[in-house]
Amino acid sequence: MPDCLFCKIADGTIPATLVHQDDEVVAFEDLNPQAPLHVLVIPRRHVPTMNELGAEHDQVMGRLYRVAAAIAGRRGVAASGWRAVMNANRDAGQTVFHVHLHVLGGRQLGWPPG
């Protein structure tokens, strides 16, 4: 998608602090971190929101979680606790319309989320 910020991060035309990349998935530091660990994990392939997911995305969505868990492990929060969350549309506060998994940790996280 030509005008998508996260497609541009995935293809390297907009810089980000990458923490993981493979053929299907890219992960990078959130620009405005809400916790000591705040990484975004995205599929390279553009999908605007969870509402547009089809069976063809099943594999990559699973990989997002596996990459998230690997990052949590590397960053030392696997045992203390961490959260993976994906927002969809207005009421959830989605601002970038390319699906992304927020990986948060390194502090006590409130529940329920606001």
User: Catalytic positions, please?
Assistant: 100
Q: Give the span between the Cα atoms of 99 and 53, in whole angstroms.
A: 9
Instruction: Tell me the residue ranges of DSSP E strands in 1-114.
Output: 18-21, 25-29, 37-43, 82-85, 101-105
First to last CA, the chain: 31
Q: What is the CB neighbour count within 10 angstroms for residue 2? A: 6
Binding mask 9-48 for ligand AMP (x = CB under 6 A): -------x-----------x-xxx-------x--------
71 token code pair: 């990052």
Residue 31: name its binding partner from ligand AMP, Zn ion, none (Cβ under 5 to 8 Å by kind).
ligand AMP
51 binds ligand AMP, rule: CB under 6 A: no
Residue 4: name its binding partner from Zn ion, ligand AMP, none (Cβ under 5 to 8 Å by kind).
Zn ion
Q: Give the span between the Cα atoms of 83 and 102, in whole angstroms.
A: 8
Smallest distance, Zn ion to C-beta of residue 11, A: 9
Residue 51: name its binding partner from ligand AMP, Zn ion, none (Cβ under 5 to 8 Å by kind).
none
| Of 40 and 103, CB closest to ligand AMP | 40
Q: What is the CB neighbour count within 10 angstroms for residue 86? A: 16
Which residues bind to Zn ion, rule: CB under 5 A? Answer: 1, 4, 6-7, 46, 98
